């Protein structure tokens, strides 16, 4: 859990230069003032508006200079440089110089807008995000034939492969031959709250995917790709690739509980912890070598659908077991043996539970 873990003092937004109370949201270039929404509306209510820009959404202390379309975030030069140099994927985010707040669209253009009713924007953002998640090296993509999909230009080419990988990981039990070598490195530091299952993850001030605006730490999952120039349909995955690119995929969305440390491929690793997937041992996962545009589109759609429906909450499969566990005596958190008296009380409790709540029948799935 991250409760209280955020150094709030260091992230205090700049206060309004006029009222000195509210957090500033815009920067007026004419005044060289940081203004809150109220003061901005008051000072710039006349038709002769000054040119204003949004305050950086990351540091909240400097005027925004760029708009990152992938993150839908307005960023100052410093934050933009920091964030988009963090990894190759972030570097591919499409950013444009930020435009002054227009007279009619200040509200509509407000940052932090992720309204579902704005389908066009949502789709665009979704495309960007999906691309960010799925894309691999665009240069390499261009070298692969059977590549007629216009989406390839923005790196969608291997979305299907990545998605396929996600599915493979989900299923966790299908491995092909070793012609394609797949390895992965993971780092894990933060953002996960307690999760006991692959889907049992909760977020705390984290931005899903590779949205990196305020990300201080990142779970990411790295793939390295090696392309066989002699057989362009074959892509192998490995760390020692002479021509390789990395792609970061948030493990929280992949649904994989990664190894806890960055692993060196050369280091032999023993059994992974229970509940994790050992991506390093055994036969490599075979990746599909080529897909039709329709296949790719279908996979991307499937990926998006999965992303929409994924659940981070812990799923209780057996309510009765939960009820028993909650009433069970513990010693330092561990279940302890019940005394006869406790067993009797529990028996009574169970009877009550059956009649009142309906527990006692464990549903089968």
Partner DNA sequence: TTTCAGGCTTGAGCCACAGACAGGT
Partner DNA sequence: ACACCTGTCTGTGGCTCAAGCCTGA
- Contacting positions for DNA (CB under 7 A): 1-2, 4-5, 7, 187-196, 204, 216-217, 219, 257, 260-262, 273-276, 314-318, 320-322, 324-326, 328, 330, 332-338, 343, 346, 350, 360-364
CB 165 within 8 A of CB 194: no
Smallest separation, CB 166 to DNA (Å): 18
**CA–CA separation, 219 and 239 (whole Å):** 19
Distances in Å between the alpha carbon of 130 and those of 50, 203, 252, 254, 256? 37, 19, 15, 13, 18
Of 98 and 277, the one with the shorter C-beta distance to DNA is 277
**Both structure tokens of 295:** 């296949």
Of 178 and 189, the one with the shorter C-beta distance to DNA is 189
**CA–CA separation, 261 and 249 (whole Å):** 16
Of 78 and 289, the one with the shorter C-beta distance to DNA is 78
Smallest separation, CB 219 to DNA (Å): 7
Smallest separation, CB 202 to DNA (Å): 9
Smallest separation, CB 63 to DNA (Å): 24
Smallest separation, CB 168 to DNA (Å): 19
Identify the H or E element spanning 9.
Answer: none
Of 10 and 103, the one with the shorter C-beta distance to DNA is 10
Of 5 and 282, the one with the shorter C-beta distance to DNA is 5
């Amino acid at each position: 859990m991250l409760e209280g873990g955020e150094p709030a003092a260091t992230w205090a937004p700049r206060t309004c230069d006029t009222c000195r109370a509210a957090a500033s949201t815009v920067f007026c270039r004419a005044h060289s003032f940081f203004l809150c929404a109220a003061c901005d509306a008051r000072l710039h209510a006349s038709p002769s508006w000054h040119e204003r820009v949004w305050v950086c959404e990351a540091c909240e202390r400097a005027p925004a200079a760029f708009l990152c379309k992938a993150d839908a975030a307005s960023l100052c030069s410093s934050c933009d440089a920091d964030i988009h140099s963090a990894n190759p994927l972030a570097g591919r985010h499409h950013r444009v110089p930020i435009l002054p707040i227009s007279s009619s669209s200040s509200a509509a253009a407000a940052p932090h807008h992720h309204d579902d009713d704005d389908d066009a924007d949502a789709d665009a953002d979704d495309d960007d995000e999906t691309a960010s998640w799925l894309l691999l090296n665009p240069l390499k993509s261009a070298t692969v034939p059977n590549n007629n999909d216009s989406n390839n230009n923005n790196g969608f080419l291997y979305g299907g492969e990545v998605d396929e990988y996600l599915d493979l990981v989900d299923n966790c039990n299908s491995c092909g031959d070793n012609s394609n070598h797949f390895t992965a490195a993971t780092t894990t530091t933060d953002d996960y709250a307690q999760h006991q299952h692959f889907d049992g993850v909760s977020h705390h001030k984290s931005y899903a995917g590779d949205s990196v605006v305020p990300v201080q730490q990142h779970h990411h999952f790295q793939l390295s790709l090696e392309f066989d120039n002699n057989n362009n349909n074959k892509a192998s995955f490995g760390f020692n690739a002479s021509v390789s690119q990395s792609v970061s995929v948030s493990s929280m969305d992949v649904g994989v509980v990664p190894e806890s440390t960055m692993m060196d491929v050369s280091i032999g690793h023993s059994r992974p912890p229970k509940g994790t997937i050992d991506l390093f041992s055994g036969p490599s996962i075979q990746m599909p070598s080529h897909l039709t545009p329709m296949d790719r589109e279908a996979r991307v759609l499937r990926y998006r659908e999965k992303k929409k429906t994924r659940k981070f909450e812990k799923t209780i499969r057996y309510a009765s077991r939960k009820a028993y566990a909650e009433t069970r005596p513990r010693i330092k958190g561990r279940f302890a043996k019940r005394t006869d008296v406790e067993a009797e009380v529990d028996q009574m409790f169970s009877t009550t539970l059956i009649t009142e709540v309906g527990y006692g029948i464990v549903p089968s799935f």
